[in-house]
Structure 1
Amino acid sequence: MMVFFWQCVLFLSLASALLVHADMKLDCRPDTVTLVWTENRSQADTSLFRLGNCFPTSFSPRRAVFSVDVNNCNFKRLVTGSHLLYTNDLTYISSPDSNILPSTHLVVCEYERPKDWYPMMYYPVFNTYGEGDLEFHIGLMNADFSGPATSTSFPLGSLIPIMASVVQKSHQPLLLLLEECIATSTPELHPKSSIYPIITNKGCLVDSKISRSKFEPRQTSSEIHLSLQALRFAHGEEVFIHCSLVAWDPVGLTNTRKACYYVKDHGWKLLDNSTYSNLCDCCESSCTSRRVRSIRSEKHGIVQKAVLGPLTITMNS
């Protein structure tokens, strides 16, 4: 592994007036970069910060933390004489109903160029396959998603907290999506199985049009939280939820690679960036790729079938 000698760290803001509202700490190490952004504005949603194409490693109401490899997150490398510069953009993507405007800040790590270092002839392309096994998980959670559920029975009309995740191991950061989910009364799907559609059309939470079901804000890109309103389906029988979990390269969402839910009086909303909720317009028709998929794009998604259950829906007393 190439060894760098840390010389200095530069932080340049493209919107310097905003710096009075925040404090930024940047630690550039030989292979990793740690950025801690502390936000003083109460209206800011720290989950909406991005470092290149990376979601925050962790965040709280006032702080966004990124701890990443310098070769990830779309860092760009520039060689200038005796120095190596790694640059990236810290962006705040905001939302249409926010009073805080989107902003971009340039982040620069500067290293002394090792004497035996020579530029590579190409930059490696990191894909989400062939770098070790992925572990997918899906489970029932407690009301605030802080731990597993203590019961598998839910009163009709209550919210069922569901979390799906992928353990990334040696892979590059992945974005987990729920491509399809249906409820049935059987642990296996059969041609004559009665089904209730929950998520269809490549990530459209269709159940949210007639219920309080919704996707919850992400805590990390490798997890997705779904609050599903307990449905009047297969009453008195066991209920199983069959889902297709998809792990994607997090660069770029499309109308076939998304998580959308319906908000009453507002329409369809994109979970990961409501600014691009137009990607959800196809949820009313058919979500198909707008271009012929290449071999490369086919390999950017890894699909895993999963079954959650059994659970039971009880009538309110």
Structure 2
Amino acid sequence: MMASFWQGVLLAVLVAAMPVTADMKLDCRPDYVTLVWGEGRNPVDPSLLRLGNCIPTSLSGWEAVFNVGFNDCNFRRLVSGDHLIYSNDLMYISSPDSHILPFTHPVVCSYERPQDWYPPIYEPVFNTYGEGEMVFHIGLMNDDFSGPAESTSFPLGSFIPIMASVELHSHQPLLLLLDECVAAATPELNPGSDLYPIITNKGCLVDSKTSRSKFEPRQRSSEIHLSLQAFRFAIGKEVYLHCQLVAWDPVGLDNTKKACNYIKNHGWELVDDPAYSNLCDCCDSTCKSRRMRSTASGKRGLVKKAVLGPFTITENP
């Protein structure tokens, strides 16, 4: 559970900015939030309140209660400096004949970043790079992954098609995986960089828990296709995707070498063989690493770091 890793609640902020006065309480817990809206001078219909895309968990008189996890209701996640921040919007959907105007209200929970987690310093390399008999590629693609993207601008909520691949030449067949990916507003990372986590925990597409992002069915073992739903992080600014690519022995998959989608109402699923989805069970805890073998001892794969970008995410018209 998240409580094992994102410990120490640092801040819970609920800023009032609406045309009504109400008694509001926000309680930020390690892996969920409780928001209570009470009666004010101009009481609203609590059934018309929404937290992200969630309706109230319970209603009583003029009171609405939301008791939801951060993986629900379209919560946004951001790593900034020493903080892990979850944000959302409390919205009131006013009826046309109501004297109370619709409003949107920010909801933010901030936690201390785990002491043992820091963004790695990635090499500022782009698109293509090699290692001996292997040449790696990563790039933005068109909608059906048949060619390069014609634009590097993507509206919020649309899909950003991304393909990573490895040319093996005379090397034995290997499976291409995306091990880790985070978005940042800079081509280089440092411990103070603002980050949007996308793939963590050795191949877990954590963004698929709160969006429609997904690894697509594999066409070739040497390629992996990612449909990434455009997110709110750094809207209108240049965005860079910092990833770690892994070319690995296809018969050597384990819980540290995998590609996992989160399927709503089902759970984590292994892209390459759903029958072995138990390899993804650690996605909600910790997928422990193993020390890689050296090239001299016949290692089973290769890990390479890359940066994709820049591209931009724009507000919907």
Q: Normalising by structure 2, what TM-score?
A: 0.56
Root-mean-square deviation (CA), in Å?
A: 1.8
Structure 2 match to 1:300: 300
Letter in structure 2 aligned against 1:194: D
Aligned to 1:253: 253
Match of 2:198 in 1: 198
Q: Secondary structure at the match of 1:183?
A: strand
Relative to 1, partners in 2 of residues 1:148 and 1:288: Cα closer, same or farther, differing over 3 Å?
same
Deviation at 1:295, TM superposition (A): 6.0
For residues 56-205 of structure 1, what are the structure 2 equivalents within 5 Å? Answer: 132-205=132-205
Instruction: Check whether the contact 2:174–2:301 (CA below 8 A) recurs between aligned residues.
Output: no
Cα separation, partners in 2 of 1:279 and 1:315, compared to 1, 3 Å? same
Tell me by how many angstroms 1:167 deviates: 0.4
Once the two structures are TM-superposed, the CA of residue 252 in structure 1 deviates from its matched residue by 3.1
Does residue 282 of the first structure (1) align with residue 282 of the second (2)?
A: yes
3-state secondary structure, aligned to 1:251: coil
Does the CA-based 8 Å contact 2:242-2:307 persist in structure 1?
yes
**1:215 — aligned with what?**
215
Superimposed CA distance per residue, residues 210-231 of structure 1 (whole angstroms, 9 cap, x where no aligned partner): 0000000111000000000000
Amino acid in structure 2 at the alignment position of 1:249: D
Q: Gaps (5+ residues) in structure 1?
A: 1-130
Is the aligned partner of 1:271 residue 2:271? yes
Tell me by how many angstroms 1:236 deviates. Answer: 2.0
Q: Distance in 2 between matches of 1:248 and 1:286?
A: 20
- Is the contact between residue 132 and residue 170 of structure 1 (CA under 8 Å) also seen in structure 2? no
- Aligned residue identity for 1:156: L
- Tell me the number of residue pairs that the alignment of Structure 1 and Structure 2 aligns: 186
Determine if contact 1:140/1:149 at 8 Å carries over to the other structure: yes
Q: What pairs with 1:216-231 in structure 2 (closer than 5 Å)?
A: 216-231=216-231
With structure 1 as the length reference, what TM-score do the two structures score? 0.56
For 1:311 and 1:195, the matched residues in 2 are separated by 15
Report if aligned partners of 1:132, 1:171 keep a CA contact under 8 Å in 2: no
Shift of 1:298: 8.2
Structure 2 partner of 1:311? 311
Structure 2, unmatched stretches of 5+, are: 1-130
Going from structure 1 to structure 2, the CA distance change for 1:195 and 1:293 (only over 3 Å counts) comes to closer
Q: What CA distance in whole angstroms lies between the structure 2 residues aligned with 1:219 and 1:197?
A: 26
